[in-house]
Amino acid sequence: MKYVILNDKKISKIGLGTWGISGDWGIKYRKKYLLSLFEYAWNRGINYFDLAPVYGKGFIDRVIADFKYKDKLIISTKIPAIKKPDLTNKKSEISDFYNIHYIDQSIYSLFKNLKRDHIDLLMLHNWHYDWSKKSFPILSHLNKYKKKGQIGAIGISIPNYMNRSFHNIDGFELIDFFMVPLNLIQQWPIEHIKKVKKKNKNIKILARSIFKQGLLGKNTKNSKKESFLLKKIEGQKNLNELLKKSNAFYDKKNIKGREFSYCIDFCLFNGANILTLGMSTKKQIDSNINSLSSFSTKK
């Protein structure tokens, strides 16, 4: 396993994303199975686990709280907004979605639910481009927790289709990382990643949606409920277009059988420092670690 240093934290280059195993995608996983999966990932060198209190309505947090290595994990989690911002509205006030009291309550709940007294990586789960010039008070408040050692690093999760600059945020100097969607279909973050790195080369980029919920693995089959949720998120027309584009791309590149490995390479070549990957089986964990090793060899 390869590791990245972020604020003196040694973080595995591959992280275990937990949304897909939270039950939100139609497949219910037993706690015993997840604890076994987590231990396997840990033993393979994966120490970074990405959570959110909304995943499975807190189910994942409760499982992690009982994981025997939880105090050794690098836990990344999020503070969801009071309500989800609408990116189609050009104007938005961050104070309507995040305020100091709400931030304090959310952090206290995270500590309680995870049975921890600190969070390694904490990010705002929602964002709107109009908040960029109004975000300093919230980021400054989070920084107080960081100074006390209760938060290891502060970040922002960038929405899937925002396609706006995020290097010009008021309080940029307080940000340690950004989490962005990055894959063969969603390539728009690449130019913005470059701007961030030019402004501060030490900021880390955490990539998510690398396989686009499995869509970017050719001939991937999803459960009926997974397919329904993907249609709801993307829209049937857009979903068909995504599948058509990805399959045509793979055929042109002649990389049949190496689709997932290619997706990993793509993200690492385009500025991602850490990859958050949804993995529900030990086989997937092994495959992704092998893909990472292959990339390191090619570099």
Q: Please give the average per-residue pLDDT across 169-186, as a whole number.
A: 94
Would you state the pLDDT for residue 152? Answer: 97
Would you state the pLDDT for residue 161? Answer: 84
**pLDDT over 60 at 25, yes or no:** yes
Residue 58 contacts residue 25 (beta carbons within 8 Å): no
Q: Residues 191-238: pLDDT tens digits?
A: 999 999 999 999 999 999 998 767 776 544 444 444 444 555 555 566
Would you state the pLDDT for residue 293? Answer: 76
Q: Please give the average per-residue pLDDT across 180-193, as a whole number.
A: 92
Percentage of the chain beyond pLDDT 70 is 84
Nearest to 113 by CA among 72, 26, 55, 29: 55
For 21, other C-beta atoms within 10 Å of its C-beta total 25
3-state helix, strand, coil in the chain (%, to 5): 45, 15, 40
Domains assigned to the chain: 3-298 (3.20.20.100)
Q: Residues 42-73: pLDDT tens digits?
A: 999 999 999 999 999 999 999 999 999 999 99
Pinpoint the alpha helices (H) of the chain. Answer: 31-43, 59-65, 100-114, 136-147, 189-199, 224-234, 236-253, 259-269, 282-298
Q: Look at the pTM and tell me if it is higher than 0.75.
A: yes
Query: Could you give the CA distance from residue 171 to residue 137 in angstroms, rounded to a whole number?
Result: 8
